[in-house]
Amino acid sequence: MAIKDLTPTQLRQFIQNHDEKSYLLLDVRQPDEYENFHIPGARLIPLPQLVQTVDSLPADKALIFYCHVGGRSLAAASMAEEEIQGAENIYNLSGGIMAWDQATVSHQPHVRLFDGQTTLEMFRTAMNLEKGAMRFYTHISDAYPDPSWSDVFGRLAKAEIAHAKTVHGSWEQREAELAPFEKLFEGLDGEVLEGGLALKDAITQLASAGEQTCLRMLEMALKIEYTAYDLYRNLAHQLSESEDSEVFLSIAQAEKGHMRALIDAIEGCQS
């Protein structure tokens, strides 16, 4: 089972062509966001609440998740994929309510970052992605020093460094003359986040969040963490015949923990 993306046009066609009893359209934003505007027929289950009740969702119906731009709904769809036994149709609205309202998809590039790379090249790419995430979380912690969220982002920044060290350890076993972690990590640019979004573009998007900075930064972080989870899980499957697979599976598991920490922080937003 895999999460399927729907564009706004595809979702409108889905709603038109399916019996109302055959699917659930689930809005995982906060109540004030839902009251301001939502897709007709959508049921509100804020993401922090969904964490507690996801296994009660029906496996025999298509489940369609959406949020503001896609970060929270990807986390919700990921939990549904893992927790609901027998569920076959789990969807995510690409670009969220912003795309639905504008009838366009918010273009965050989907990049197959590891395609065509050797295992050693994969290690370098993985470390560079971890550095990009670390730089993004450090930026949030420094630029938006609100105690309601700066602590979680500070912890995430440290976790990304720990992930990079894990990757370096596996790389070192394969390449005896590899530079020490500190030197190698310092030399990486960390300019790209998982999924292909440039760090500078992520920072620019965050700066335009206005009054809902807290929710927007958490949602963006959830999208980064979900993409990292999916990226490393698929990479582990590609390397299933190698002991390196376990390294990337362990990192994928940790990314899920990061998503939970971000979800827990949502209720602290005062937007």
Q: What is the CATH number of the domain that holds 178?
A: 1.20.1260.10
Are 96 and 125 within one domain?
A: no
- Of 57, 73, 102, which closes a domain? 102
Contacts of 149 (CB under 8 A, 6+ apart): 140, 214, 217, 218, 265, 268, 269
Domain-located, residue 20:
yes
Residue 74, judged by CB atoms within 10 A of its CB (0-12, 13-18, 19+), counts as buried
Angle at 184 between CA 179 and CA 190, to 5 degrees: 160
Distance CA(20)–CA(201), nearest Å, equals: 39
List phi, psi (to 5°) of 37.
-170, 135
Are 44 and 147 within one domain?
A: no
CATH code of residue 52: 3.40.250.10
Residue type, 238: Q
Are 187 and 95 within one domain?
A: no
Domain-located, residue 109:
no
Are 91 and 147 within one domain?
A: no
Q: Which domain holds residue 186?
A: 119-266
Are 46 and 162 within one domain?
A: no
Instruction: DSSP for 35-89, please give it.
Output: HH---TTPEE--HHHHHHHGGGS-TTSEEEEE-SSSHHHHHHHHHHHHHSTT---
- Of 68, 102, 136, which closes a domain? 102
Angle at 231 between CA 97 and CA 153, to 5 degrees: 65
Number of domains in the chain: 2
pLDDT by position in tens, the chain (length 271): 579 999 999 999 999 899 888 999 999 999 999 988 899 889 999 999 999 999 999 999 999 999 999 999 999 999 999 999 888 899 999 999 999 977 544 444 444 677 788 888 989 999 999 999 999 999 998 988 877 778 899 999 999 999 999 999 999 988 889 999 999 999 999 999 876 789 999 999 888 877 778 888 899 899 888 888 878 887 887 776 677 888 888 898 898 889 989 999 888 886 5
Q: How high is the pLDDT of residue 109?
A: 40
Domain-located, residue 182:
yes
Give the neighbor-by-neighbor strand order of the sheet with 43-44.
4-6, 90-93, 62-66, 23-27, 43-44
Are 123 and 169 within one domain?
A: yes
Distance CA(244)–CA(240), nearest Å, equals: 8
Are 165 and 71 within one domain?
A: no
- DSSP-derived secondary structure letter, 109: -
Which sign, positive or negative, has the C-alpha torsion 77, 220, 125, 138?
negative
Yes or no: say if 190 and 131 are a contact pair by the CB < 8 Å rule: yes
- Of 102, 129, 163, which closes a domain? 102
Are 123 and 191 within one domain?
A: yes
Residue carrying structure tokens 């990479």: 235
Are 155 and 247 within one domain?
A: yes
Are 138 and 188 within one domain?
A: yes
Are 83 and 203 within one domain?
A: no
Domain-located, residue 110:
no
Q: How high is the pLDDT of residue 112?
A: 63
Domain-located, residue 42:
yes
Domain-located, residue 165:
yes
Domain-located, residue 271:
no
Are 247 and 128 within one domain?
A: yes
